[in-house]
Amino acid sequence: MANPLYDALFLPLAGRQSDLLILPDGRRIRGDSFLRMIARQAHALRAAGLGAGDRVAVQVAKSPEALAVYGAAVALGAIFLPLNSAYTPDEVDYFLGDAAPRVFLCDPARAETLAPLAARHGSRLLTLGADGAGTLRDLSEGQPEEILPVDRGLEDLAALLYTSGTTGRSKGAMLSQRNLLSNAEALAELWRFTERDVLIHALPIFHTHGLFVASNVSLLTGGSMVFLPGFDLDAILGSMPEATAMMGVPTFYTRLLGDPRLTRERASGMRLFVSGSAPLLAETHAEFEARTGHRILERYGMTETNMSTSNPYEGERRAGTVGFPLPGVELRILHEGREVAPGEVGVIEVRGPNVFQGYWQMPEKTAEELRPVGFFITGDLGRVDEDGYVQIIGRQKDLIISGGYNIYPKEVELLLDEVPGILESAVVGVPHPDLGEAVLAVLVPRPGVTLDPQEVVATLNDRIARFKQPRAAVVVEELPRNTMGKVQKNLLRDRYARRFA
C-alpha cells in the first residue's frame, strides 16, 4: 500500500514528540498529536461520504484544524480544494457548481448563507471555525486516531486550485501528487530545509505559496512552523528570534521595513527570507539587506506550475531576478512562435514534473495554455540574462497582483459594466506603496449621467471579494483606444501612476 504524498508529508509525524505548530496564543501542537487530528478528521470525512477522487472544498479560517483537513484529504485520496476566505457566496457558488465537491467545509458563521448553495450542488456541508469548533470537530470526536491511507499513485490528483482567467471565468488547476511532491523536494533541498528549521508561516493556506511552498516544505523536512492566522507585524517580529526562516509576498517585506523593530539583531538567528507571488522591488531588496544583513531570496511560480525558478541559496541572489529554473524544470522564452536569442524578451514557458495536469473539465482552455509537448505558456514576459538568471519583465496576460492576490480586470469590468449609468469601464493596476499594485477603475458614464465613483464601487460589495474591488475609481469621458479599437491600458496606467503615491 502506498500514498506517496501522505507517506512523505504526514506519515513521518507518527511518534514525533517535537512541536510541529507554534501558535500565537502560546499553544504548541506536537507532530504526533497533529497526525492523530488528521486521522480523526479523515474518519469523520469518510463517514460524511468523502472518498478517493472526490473533491473537498474548504473555505475556512487558517488554523491547525484547517491544515489537518489537507492531510485528511490526502489520506483519503480526495482532491483538496481550498478557497479564499474572502470570496462572496456568489463566487463560492461558481466553485461548488464547477467542482461538485462531495463535502464543502465552511465557517460556522456562514453556514446559514451557504447551506442552500451546498444543497443545490449536492455537497454535504460541514463547518469549521477559526477556533476549531464546528460540525467537523463534532463528527471527529471519538473517531479512531489512526488511519490507513488510501492507495494512491504519483499521477493521481491531490488538489484543485482555482485561478482566475482572462475571460473572467475561474479555472481549476489540477495538481497531481507528483506535482506537489517533486516541487517540495526540489525546494527543500535547494533552500536547505531541515528538521531544525522554524518557519514563520503568516501566509494564507488557500494558495500555492502558503500551502504547498511553505507548509509542504516544512512538513517534508520535519521542521516546525510559527503558524499565524494572518499577517501580523507584532507576532512576526516577536517570533523572529526563535525562528530560522520566513516566506512572504513583497508586501510582508515592505511592511517589516516600515517597522523600526526590524533590526539586524532581531534577524540574527534567521537563515532565510523568501519572497514571491509578485515582483519584489530592487529597492526593497537593497533596503532589507542594509537593515538586516540578509539578502531576500526571490523565486517565481504559478498555481499551474508550483515553483519554476529560484535564486540560489549559495551564490548571488540577484535583485530584480527570480534566479534559475529548478532542477528538473525546463524554461524557454518564445516570441511569435520562436525561441528568442539570449537576453531577448518573450513569453516564459515551463515544462517539468511541477507542471499541472490541465484545467478541470476545460479541455479547450487546457489546450490553449498547455502545449502537447508539455510546455505550459505562463503569460509572463521575461528574459534570461547573460548569467542565466531569469527576469520577469511584465505580463502578457491582463492581470493585477495586489498584495500577492491575483485580480483579473475582466471579471471586475464585466460587473462594473452592468451598473446602471455606466457605458464602459477599464480596470487597471497602478503602483501602490503597500500592495505593490492596487486596483483602479476608470469609468465612462452613459451620456447625461453623473456617476458617483464611490457608489459604483459599493455596488460590488456582495458580488466579488473585497481584495478585487477597486481601491479608487475615476470618471472620464472616454477611454483611450488604439486604431484597432483596443483600450490602451498602458496609457491609463501611466496617467494614474501616482494615484496612490
Binding residues for ligand MCA, rule: CB under 6 A, are 86, 203-204, 207-210, 230-231, 249, 251, 276-277, 301-303, 402-405, 435, 466-467
The minimum distance between CB 310 and ligand MCA, in angstroms, equals: 11
Helix axes 64-76, 31-47, angle to 10 degrees: 60
* Beta carbon nearer to ligand AMP, 74 or 249: 249
- Contact call for residue 165 and ligand AMP (CB under 6 A): no
Residue 210 interacts with which of ligand AMP, ligand MCA, none, CB < 5 to 8 Å by class: ligand MCA
Interface map 135-154 toward ligand AMP (x if CB under 6 A)? --------------------
Alpha helices of 143-230 — where are they, by DSSP H? 177-190, 208, 217-221
Residues 391 and 370: beta-carbon distance below 8 Å: no
DSSP state of 464: S
Q: Residue 19 or 91: which CB sits closer to ligand AMP?
A: 91
Closer residue to ligand MCA (CB): 38 or 389 = 389
380 binds ligand AMP (CB under 6 A): yes
Provide the grid cell at 78: 480526495
For the bound state, the minimum distance from the C-beta of residue 187 to ligand MCA, rounded and expressed in Å, comes to: 12
Q: Given the complex with ligand MCA, which of 118 and 438 has the nearer CB atom?
A: 438
Give me the amino acid identity at 80.
F
Residues 36-75 that bind ligand AMP (CB under 6 A): none
Does residue 395 belong to the site contacting ligand AMP (CB under 6 A)? yes
> Least distance in Å: CB of 277 to ligand MCA?
4
Q: Which residues of 453-474 are buried (b: 16+ CB within 10 A; e: fewer)?
A: eeebbeebeebbbebbbbbbbe
Q: Counting contacts by CB under 6 A, is residue 278 touching ligand AMP?
A: yes
The answer to whether 78 and 52 have CB atoms below 8 angstroms apart is yes
**HSE-up of 93 (CA within 13 Å, CB side)?**
11
Whether residue 134 contacts residue 317, with contact meaning beta carbons closer than 8 Å, is answered with: no
The x, y and z cell numbers of residue 145, run together, are: 486516531
163 binds ligand AMP (CB under 6 A): yes
- Residue 403 binds: one of ligand MCA, ligand AMP, none (C-beta under 5 to 8 A by kind): ligand MCA
The interface region with ligand AMP, picked from 30-38, 276-284, 336-344, 490-498 by CB under 6 A, is 276-284
Judged by CB under 6 A, the residue of 406, 415, 464, 470 near ligand AMP is 406
CB 335, CB 311: distance < 8 Å? no
Residue 236, all three cell numbers: 512576526
The stretch near ligand AMP (CB under 6 A) out of 150-158, 222-230, 297-305, 332-340 is 297-305
Phi, psi of 220 (to 5 degrees): -65, -35
Residue by residue, DSSP assigns 291-342 as HHSPPPEEEEEETTTEEEEE--SSS---TT---EEPTT-EEEEEETTEEPPT
Rounded least distance, CB 117 to ligand AMP, Å: 24
